[in-house]
Structure 1
Amino acid sequence: MSTNAAAESYPRQRARTRGFQLGRPRNFHLLTDRVLFIRSASGIDAAGSLWSLDLNSGIETCIVDVRTDIPSSTDNDLPAAEKARRERMREVTGGITAYSVDSTGSFAAFAVNGIPFIVDLSDNCVRALPAPGPVVDPRIHHAGSAVAYVIDRSMYVTAINADAATCIAQAEHEHETWGLADFVAAEELARYRGFWWLPESEGSLLVERFDESNVDEWWIADPAQPGLAPQSRRYPAAGTTNAVVELWVINSIGERKQVMWDLDAFPYLATVSPSKHGTVLELLNREQNLVSIQLLNAATGELTELQCRTDTAWIDVMPGVPSIDFDQQLLEIVNDEATDTYRLA
């Protein structure tokens, strides 16, 4: 460490490293013989690249160097929805910030500056995917055959070798959104995504649709740029009207069916957990002291309630659960009031 670095104050170090997040490996994905992860080049470099660690040799390899492999890899032109998503996730880095991998570990998909990319993990060949606009949250199909993403509040799918993307759910007005998490889910329930490939189907997606038409409108000014007009935001303040949140099963050609539940009784879609053993939804009432756990029939869109429970205070939402295990048993983390702790149930 240099003399200047050693003498640098803690506040300056924290600011320069963005809370000591830069240069830290994260977003791990375990494959048979290696681990994928995101890391920037140093503790002062904000641009994340995709790396792999060989589990046999211990050798690290940069699969996608965002500085050299991606042209114009700045974050200056991110879609507004992606900026909001990163803010809610407390994301302080740039470049590659997230990625998805198919079930065999053959391909990975990601976006940089709103452009979707796919990398062949056998030879590290990177190429851009077709998209008619800046994309948010690209997710690869478990078979590695297609990638889905959101553009301007609408849902798109493209085959990995296609020349164009297909819109399978089009937003019909400015307050309608397909494929993104609604405000309450992202800000309060730690659910940051709004669509999922269904493992039990060949190419169908489970897609959130929300409508904020009746949500109160707030106007947010930027004090750092007083010359700009305030921006309109739909904000569901406590006690006011929430967005209408729905789920739809949509196939690759846009055929869809709605997943039906009592939206008045359970306005909050807290958790969606797809797996090859079954797709489970967690629904909350407005008071958040009643939860209904439902099993989805992807073929029909019908739900079967697996469990309904209450809490004297409120239900804590735990990312990753509830889910169905390989024995077709429901896994859940519950608050055990008798022992004042959480336990797996």
Structure 2
Amino acid sequence: MPPHDEQYLVEEKSWSELLSHARLWRNISKKRMNMTLHHFSLYIDHSGTERMLALGGSGQSPQETIYTAPLTRSPLVSSVAKLTLSPYLDTKPSKSGPPPAELAALCERQRTTVSSGISSYDFDPTSSTLLYSDSTNLYRIQKEEKSVIGSGIKGCPLHAQLCPVDNTLVAFVANSNVHIDWKGKVIYSSSTGDNIINGCSSFIAQEELDRFTGMWWSPGPRKMLLYEQVDETAVTSLQFTIPGCSPARPMKYPVAGTANAISTLRLIVIDENKIIDEKLAVELKTVYPWYEYLARVGWLSDGSAIWALLLSRLQDRYALVLIPLNLFGSRDNQSSAQVVTLLQEQSEIWFNVDNLTRFLTPVGGILQFIHASDRDDYTHLFHYTAKLDEAHVTATCSSRPVTAGNWSVLKEPGLFVDEKRKA
């Protein structure tokens, strides 16, 4: 069901009033909840009610679960009704014990608290399909029927995602490999070797660039999963110890001045009778010799190509590039397709990596996208139009400002673009 087109009537508030309102709500939420709500999802249920999902813990239990609440429209901020939270599903308390090492490491890099109970979820509102993990097992609920996902796969399931094209397909990461489940049966698992990690972002991407996802489903129409493969062979191994505790197992840690992990992309294509896992045939380091970090990755909204933000080691140079799908597979079977450079910039200092890049639906050989820049001291949004040549090898870009002023757009929340209303 599409969202409502009408707008809220919001009472004008000064900055100080908005700040006071935010502080008040933060204090109220801390008192009512043992942990602050996070991982919000907004959707419209089958009755037409606007609802919210979020992860959080109650004051009665240290375990996190999924909460839901109906959203009430009101013309004035001062008269907005309080949200009435209720558990979305009944879950049994999980067994006490130390969290899996993979989950603990991820939470440490996200600067979040390691908690028990439900650790992550994904939700498809069109079919009311819920996918969630309790850090040990992965479950799928649809029409009140609960099934186990990834049965037989050992390890902590991370980054589980429903396929947008077919919600019976689920991708997740466990034991450094990507696994794809179909109706409770694992139909594909990637292969790995020593120091190879599939489906997870590299240490630097997590620690410095705030990217924690290493795989991305295509929005359609084909069933395709893009994932990152990280080679840590050249990275230094270190062992961290705490006095009085047993030594921790050695871990790969990119010490300053030493070699970093090498990231590349692979594409899984799921057809009716076969599954193909293809590597990117072009070495990005060859095209962009200064490339070191895979900062951001995503799909065009029609699934026709992939975009990526490449960053140098000093983080003073970046390129926003377009990767055609026919660059995956054997180079011998490819046409003249090339990686297309949409933007490329260099600075005397460093670039702030953000979540402010959003591609609009492509039309013909024209790409439009929103991208942020802080070249004028403040971070602002720009609307770019890129015209590709007939061979889709080169692009000519023009831009116009979307925001301006002596203030900066926040980089963390990301962007939402309503193409229907052009907002």
The match for 2:106 is: 85
The match for 2:295 is: 270
Select which of 121, 128, 131 maps to 1:106. Answer: 128
Distance 1:53 1:105 in 2: 18
Taking structure 1 as the reference length, what is the TM-score of the superposition? Answer: 0.82
Compared CA separation, residues 230 and 82, structure 1 to 2 (3 A) = closer
The match for 2:5 is: none
The match for 2:214 is: 194
Select which of 144, 148, 155 maps to 2:178. Answer: 155
The match for 2:159 is: 137
Unaligned runs of 5+ residues in structure 1 are: 1-16
User: How far has the Cα of 1:200 moved from its partner?
Assistant: 3.1
Residues 28 and 35, structure 1, Cα contact 8 Å, conserved in 2:
yes
Cα deviations by residue, 1:268-304 (Å, 9 ceiling, x for unpaired) = 0001133524642110011111111012323544632
User: How far has the Cα of 1:107 moved from its partner?
Assistant: 1.2
Cα deviations by residue, 1:303-331 (Å, 9 ceiling, x for unpaired) = 32211112221110002x32202464121
The match for 1:36 is: 53
Select which of 306, 313, 326 maps to 1:286. Answer: 313
The match for 1:212 is: 232
**Percent identity (aligned):** 21
Compared CA separation, residues 62 and 280, structure 1 to 2 (3 A) = same
Taking structure 2 as the reference length, what is the TM-score of the superposition? Answer: 0.68
User: Where in structure 2 are the equivalents of 1:22-101 lying within 5 Å?
Assistant: 22-32=34-44, 33-42=50-59, 45-55=61-71, 60-66=85-91, 68=92, 73-74=94-95, 76=97, 78-92=99-113, 93-101=115-123
Larger Rg: 2
Cα deviations by residue, 1:100-151 (Å, 9 ceiling, x for unpaired) = 223625212121132111122x54x433213311222211111312111112
Compared CA separation, residues 311 and 18, structure 1 to 2 (3 A) = farther
Unaligned runs of 5+ residues in structure 2 are: 1-28, 45-49, 74-82, 329-337, 383-423
Compared CA separation, residues 154 and 290, structure 1 to 2 (3 A) = same
Residues 114 and 136, structure 1, Cα contact 8 Å, conserved in 2:
no
Cα deviations by residue, 1:65-121 (Å, 9 ceiling, x for unpaired) = 44x3xxx6246364322221111112213322321223625212121132111122x
Cα deviations by residue, 1:214-263 (Å, 9 ceiling, x for unpaired) = 111111113351xx234211111121101111111112424313263432
Number of aligned residue pairs: give it.
Answer: 314
Compared CA separation, residues 75 and 28, structure 1 to 2 (3 A) = farther
Compared CA separation, residues 116 and 255, structure 1 to 2 (3 A) = same
Residues 200 and 298, structure 1, Cα contact 8 Å, conserved in 2:
no
Greater shift in the superposed pair: 17-26 or 179-188: 17-26
User: Where in structure 2 are the equivalents of 1:253-332 lying within 5 Å?
Assistant: 253-258=275-280, 260-263=282-285, 264-277=289-302, 279-301=306-328, 303-319=339-355, 321-326=356-361, 328-332=367-371
Distance 2:353 2:127 in 1: 30
Residues 282 and 322, structure 1, Cα contact 8 Å, conserved in 2:
no
Aligned residues: CA RMSD: 2.7
Residues 117 and 129, structure 1, Cα contact 8 Å, conserved in 2:
yes
1:115 aligns with 2:121: no
User: How far has the Cα of 1:38 moved from its partner?
Assistant: 1.1
Q: Which has the higher contact order (CA 8 A, sep 6+)?
A: 1
Distance 1:259 1:97 in 2: 36
Partner of 1:288, secondary structure, is coil
Distance 1:149 1:272 in 2: 17
Cα deviations by residue, 1:124-179 (Å, 9 ceiling, x for unpaired) = x43321331122221111131211111211110001x23x3133311122x11101
Compared CA separation, residues 276 and 40, structure 1 to 2 (3 A) = same
User: How far has the Cα of 1:20 moved from its partner?
Assistant: 10
Partner of 1:316, secondary structure, is coil
Distance 1:170 1:38 in 2: 33
Residues 33 and 57, structure 2, Cα contact 8 Å, conserved in 1:
no
Compared CA separation, residues 102 and 194, structure 1 to 2 (3 A) = same
Residues 205 and 212, structure 2, Cα contact 8 Å, conserved in 1:
yes
Distance 1:28 1:60 in 2: 13
The match for 1:6 is: none
User: How far has the Cα of 1:41 moved from its partner?
Assistant: 1.5
The match for 2:374 is: 335
Compared CA separation, residues 344 and 130, structure 1 to 2 (3 A) = same
Partner of 1:64, secondary structure, is coil
Compared CA separation, residues 36 and 18, structure 1 to 2 (3 A) = closer
Residues 235 and 260, structure 2, Cα contact 8 Å, conserved in 1:
yes
Distance 1:195 1:295 in 2: 17
Partner of 1:23, secondary structure, is coil
The match for 1:251 is: 269
1:178 aligns with 2:198: yes
AA aligned opposite 1:268: Y
The match for 2:420 is: none
User: How far has the Cα of 1:336 moved from its partner?
Assistant: 3.4
